[in-house]
Amino acid sequence: MKKVLSGIQPSGQLTLGNYIGALQNFVRLQETHECYFMVVDLHAITVPQEPAALREQSQSIAALYLAAGIDPQHAAIYMQSHVRAHAELGWLLTTLTSMGELERMTQFKDKSAGKESVGAGLFVYPSLMAADILVYNADLVPVGDDQKQHLELTRDLAGRFNSRYGDYFTIPEPYIPEIGARIMSLDDVSKKMSKSNPNPGSFIALLDEPDVIRKKISRATTDSGREVRFDRESKPEVSNLMGIYSLMSGLSLPEVEARFEGQGYGPFKKELAERIVDVLEPLQQRYREIRSSGMLEEVLKQGAEKASVVADRVVAGVKERMGFLKS
């Protein structure tokens, strides 16, 4: 089977956008691919983190992986920092990465803008991201538009290593799902729904209480007029909400339009909120059961052991080709 690698940072609460754009696809991919799904805690510390918050968010995301339906018998679920090969290969690839390549990374530019001092980790972490992928010789990487640049760097580094030391790394390809890859903010449709947005009203968190979800949807920005019609150019706000409704209900966009013809935004937003609640309440119940069961530590341990077998072997091959003595 082809290998798939992906991960989510333990910073902020996972959102409905993460569920639709990432977790649901992870669940589908585990049936047909060899999957490695990690919590990228080493990436999170490229900006300052409160230790207690980092621990809690790391556990929360791992539990949400399970609650969403990722099966540890089919996919490795683990903490990035528990597989030491990530950091080791990250350093080796950093030595193959030019300053110019890192300076062109738009995420570095965005996160460092207006700051007097920026940590070196934020600058070089694209090399670690490349290592995350190449340490398993992954074939496919689920990516959003904001990560395409990092995947291109990964492909360049793999090709550079292969050219210098002989063919070894698989050149990974992006996996971009046909639907659900980009859910936009509830308050500004020009921005992706993001767990890092300082305005909690801009996103639905997966662990939001039902009444909180209803309130956020009722306050979601809509276009002028009252017609529930899908048109990303002239009605981008309601089109975003319709996309969420479609994915939550299984109805096509024309079916959503027909369902709310002549009813206006009020009834549409009210029913949209209930659709979201219906999907998230069972997930939240499973999440609470997982957190209280004590199973998470063993799942992460087994996932790290499974991932390390593959990753250690790949790093050993890299070091041999680069000329390191065997330990």
323 residue type, one letter: G
Q: Sign of torsion, CA 53 141 95 83?
A: positive
Output phi, psi for 135, to 5 deg: -65, -15
Active-site residue identified among 2, 111, 215, 306: 111
Helix ranges (DSSP H) in 45-198: 51-68, 85-94, 99-103, 106-112, 120-134, 148-165
Pairwise CA distance, residues 128 & 43, whole Å: 8
Are 198 and 188 spatial neighbours (Cβ–Cβ below 8 Å)?
no
192 catalytic? Reply is yes
Among 255, 155, 145, 228, smallest CA distance to 190 is for 145
CA angle 64, 271, 181 (to 5 degrees): 45
Residue length of the chain: 327
195 catalytic? Reply is yes
CA angle 53, 276, 79 (to 5 degrees): 30
Residue 223: both structure tokens together: 């276009």
Residue 173: both structure tokens together: 């390809």
Active-site residue identified among 3, 115, 192, 235: 192
> What are the residues whose beta carbons fall under 8 Å from the beta carbon of 101, sequence distance 6 or more?
126, 153, 156
Active-site residue identified among 2, 109, 115, 195: 195
Q: Could you list the active site residues?
A: 111, 192, 195
